[in-house]
């Protein structure tokens, strides 16, 4: 039976709907609960909902259209008193006033990832269909833990997991679940790997003896969440062993094999190898196929952290860079990095859906065991979370409006731009550039000449801070072999090589000024 369709204006007049209030009526705090109910989103407040959100969207559209730099340069000391001075017990009672105040404490000084000279972290500009999805999912407010709270949302999330698994090539037994981000995905993958390793040690005493001997191997360029996950999982303090990288900052498979063999000789159990498809610092991709071969030969769980590099799954030209990922036991993907989705939108996938039983717990009030026999799909059976947003809707609408090829084109564009930036920097004698990334990261530093060369570390640190304080651009920083470097992370297709060149010039000016002033001051001290 189909339900009748009503225009939005008529929703408030449906039988049984609350009496609507005028959309722009002022709030009457004397009416207590009656006034409070006017803030609830329902059929009776549909007109107010439209008006309030339209005002907010208009405000955002004007603000974004007027952005002329990625940051204002505000300091914590300047902004904190403004926020601390707001009395949260005294509401403003007016949407326009609240938006004005929000502009003062947040929007005016926000960091704008859509600006072409934001070149710092793995933050992408977002596509409009995903913003539509964000608005819809927030209004409906489905919780993705059980079927009776989400219905179609459960099926949409499952279809997207299947689609991603197909893109990876994990096979027909694959499954997974959306997560809050790459760190949670890595934690869940390593939890599953730990439980699989512990299956050979039934009983509490045997498990207690095994846990201190479990080891996780990853590269020196791997993500810090691997170490954090090992700690949360109760492994030994030295459980994570790092494998050296080659000149391209990729894990060396031969060393990995030798380390696995050494662990076994010493009575240690390698529960997982974590390969990275897109390291945070260098954008490097480990040789996945070779690593998968080592893991297959030694019977070790392979997890691939593709939080950054997952955008290659949609690339029309670079999918081959992920060759070997299809052999993984588990994979992390962050759609909110290289699929141009708003935070948060991430997932963990597994080759064999049966391993997800390690995170399944049944609660009589929520997902009793009998539901499994009834084939009721409860996503909480797969997740570390209980209440969980319908973040999959953003990706769903993006794919239904744009399709994966257009997303892949956007990611290809930023990778191309990074290649051009690498060439630009490598040809500039003022800078030293590190290995060329297959993704969209460029690591480099200003290199003073003459006596000032010893100030390189300090000059690059100063240049980054001065650039941020000016608000003209934002770049990231890292260390390479103990030295301070700067980093461009390009995820905005609107960024041009002219933007890159302009930011390089600003960096050179800030760093050069620092070296000159320090050298002059040091000389004066020696003369004095």
Mean pLDDT over 320-324 rounds to 98
Judged against a pLDDT cut of 90, whether residue 450 lies above it is answered with: no
Distances (CA, A) of 520 to 217, 417, 447, 460, 489: 48, 38, 18, 18, 34
pLDDT tens digits along 255-304: 999 999 999 999 999 999 999 999 999 999 999 999 999 999 999 999 99
136: left (phi over 0), alpha (psi -120 to 50) or beta: alpha
Q: Are 276 and 224 in contact (CB under 8 A)?
A: no
For residue 13, the model assigns a pLDDT of: 42
Mean pLDDT over 301-308 rounds to 98
Buried b (16+ CB within 10 A) or exposed e, 163-189: ebbebbbbeeebbbbbbbbbbbbbbbb
Residues 168 and 187: their CA atoms lie apart, in Å, by 20
Q: Is 78 exposed, middle or buried (0-12, 13-18, 19+ CB in 10 A)?
A: exposed
Higher-scoring residue by pLDDT: 320, 204 = 320
Which H or E run includes 379? none
Judged against a pLDDT cut of 70, whether residue 401 lies above it is answered with: yes
Closest of 107, 163, 192 to residue 335, by C-alpha: 163
pLDDT grade for 34, boundaries at 50, 70 and 90: confident
Judged against a pLDDT cut of 70, whether residue 214 lies above it is answered with: yes
Closest of 39, 33, 43, 49 to residue 13, by C-alpha: 43
What architecture is the 132-401 domain classified under in CATH? 3-Layer(aba) Sandwich (3.40)
For residue 206, the model assigns a pLDDT of: 85
Judged against a pLDDT cut of 80, whether residue 528 lies above it is answered with: no
If one counts every other C-beta atom within 10 angstroms of the C-beta of residue 255, the result is 15
Closest of 281, 346, 343 to residue 477, by C-alpha: 281
- Listing DSSP states for 121-172 in one string gives SS-----HHHHHHHHHHHHH---TTSHHHHTHHHHHHHHHHHHHHHHHT--T
Mean pLDDT over 366-371 rounds to 94
Residue ranges in 312-455 assigned as alpha helix (H): 335-338, 370-373, 392-401, 404-426
CATH number of 406-527: 3.90.1150.10
Closest of 409, 402, 411 to residue 491, by C-alpha: 411
Residues 268 and 73: their CA atoms lie apart, in Å, by 50
For residue 229, give every residue at least 6 positions away whose Cβ sits within 8 Å of its Cβ, in sequence order, or none: 183, 186, 187, 190, 191
Q: Are 320 and 293 in contact (CB under 8 A)?
A: no
Residue ranges in 237-382 assigned as alpha helix (H): 253-265, 288-298, 335-338, 370-373
Judged against a pLDDT cut of 60, whether residue 23 lies above it is answered with: no
Average pLDDT over the chain reads 92
Name the DSSP class of 17: P
Mean pLDDT over 210-217 rounds to 96
Token pair, residue 208, equals 């207690």
Judged against a pLDDT cut of 70, whether residue 221 lies above it is answered with: yes
If one counts every other C-beta atom within 10 angstroms of the C-beta of residue 478, the result is 16
What is the percent of the chain where pLDDT is above 70?
93
Q: Which residue has the tokens 């999918």?
A: 319
**3-state DSSP helix/strand/coil % of the chain, to nearest 5:** 50, 15, 35
Residue ranges in 39-109 assigned as alpha helix (H): 46-65, 76-84, 95-105
Q: Are 488 and 441 in contact (CB under 8 A)?
A: yes
Q: What angle do CA 306, 119, 66 make, to 5 degrees?
A: 120
Domain boundaries of the chain, sorted by first residue: 1-66, 132-401, 406-527
């Amino acid at each position: 039976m189909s339900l009748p369709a009503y225009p939005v204006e008529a929703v408030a007049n449906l039988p049984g709907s609350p009496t609507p209030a005028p959309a722009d009526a002022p709030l009457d705090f004397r009416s207590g609960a009656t006034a409070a109910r006017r803030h609830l989103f329902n059929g009776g407040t549909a007109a107010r909902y439209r008006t309030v959100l339209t005002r907010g969207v208009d405000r955002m559209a004007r603000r974004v259209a007027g952005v002329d730099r990625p940051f204002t340069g505000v300091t914590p000391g300047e902004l904190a008193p403004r926020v601390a001075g707001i009395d949260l017990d005294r509401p403003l009672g007016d949407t326009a006033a609240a938006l004005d105040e929000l502009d003062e404490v947040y929007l005016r000084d926000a960091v704008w990832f859509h600006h072409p000279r934001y070149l710092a972290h793995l933050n992408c500009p977002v596509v409009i269909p995903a913003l539509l999805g964000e608005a819809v999912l927030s209004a409906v407010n489905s919780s993705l833990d059980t079927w009776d709270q989400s219905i179609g949302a459960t099926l949409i999330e499952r279809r997207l997991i299947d689609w991603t698994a197909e893109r990876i090539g994990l096979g027909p037994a694959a499954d997974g679940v959306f997560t809050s981000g790459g760190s949670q995905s890595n934690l869940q993958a390593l939890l599953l790997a730990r439980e699989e390793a512990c299956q050979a040690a039934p009983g509490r005493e045997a498990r207690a003896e095994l846990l201190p001997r479990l080891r996780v191997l990853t590269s020196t360029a791997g993500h810090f969440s691997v170490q954090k996950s090992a700690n949360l999982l109760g492994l030994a303090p030295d459980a994570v062993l790092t494998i050296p990288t080659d000149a391209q900052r990729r894990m060396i498979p031969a060393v990995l094999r030798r380390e696995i063999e050494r662990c076994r000789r010493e009575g240690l159990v390698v529960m997982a190898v974590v390969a990275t498809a897109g390291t945070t610092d260098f954008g490097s991709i480990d040789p996945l196929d070779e690593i998968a071969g080592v893991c297959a030969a030694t019977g070790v769980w392979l997890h691939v952290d593709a939080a950054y590099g997952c955008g290659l799954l949609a690339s029309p030209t670079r999918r081959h860079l992920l060759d070997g990922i299809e052999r993984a036991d588990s994979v992390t993907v962050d759609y909110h990095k290289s699929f141009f989705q708003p935070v948060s939108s991430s997932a963990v996938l597994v080759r064999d859906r049966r391993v997800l039983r390690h995170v399944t717990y049944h609660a009589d009030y929520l997902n009793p065991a009998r539901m499994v026999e009834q084939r009721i799909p409860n996503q909480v059976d797969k997740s570390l979370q209980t209440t969980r947003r319908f973040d999959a809707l953003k990706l769903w609408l993006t794919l239904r409006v744009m399709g994966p090829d257009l997303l892949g084109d956007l990611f290809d564009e930023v990778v191309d731009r990074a290649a051009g930036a690498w060439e630009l920097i490598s040809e500039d004698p003022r800078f030293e550039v590190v290995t060329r990334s297959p993704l969209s990261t460029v690591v480099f530093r200003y290199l003073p000449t003459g006596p000032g060369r010893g100030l390189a570390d300090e000059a690059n640190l100063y240049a980054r801070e001065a650039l941020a304080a000016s608000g003209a651009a934002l770049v990231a920083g890292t260390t390479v072999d103990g030295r301070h470097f700067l980093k461009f992370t390009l995820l905005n297709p609107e960024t041009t090589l002219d933007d890159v060149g302009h930011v390089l010039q600003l960096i050179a000016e800030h760093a050069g000024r620092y070296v000159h002033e320090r050298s002059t001051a040091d000389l004066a001290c020696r003369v004095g």
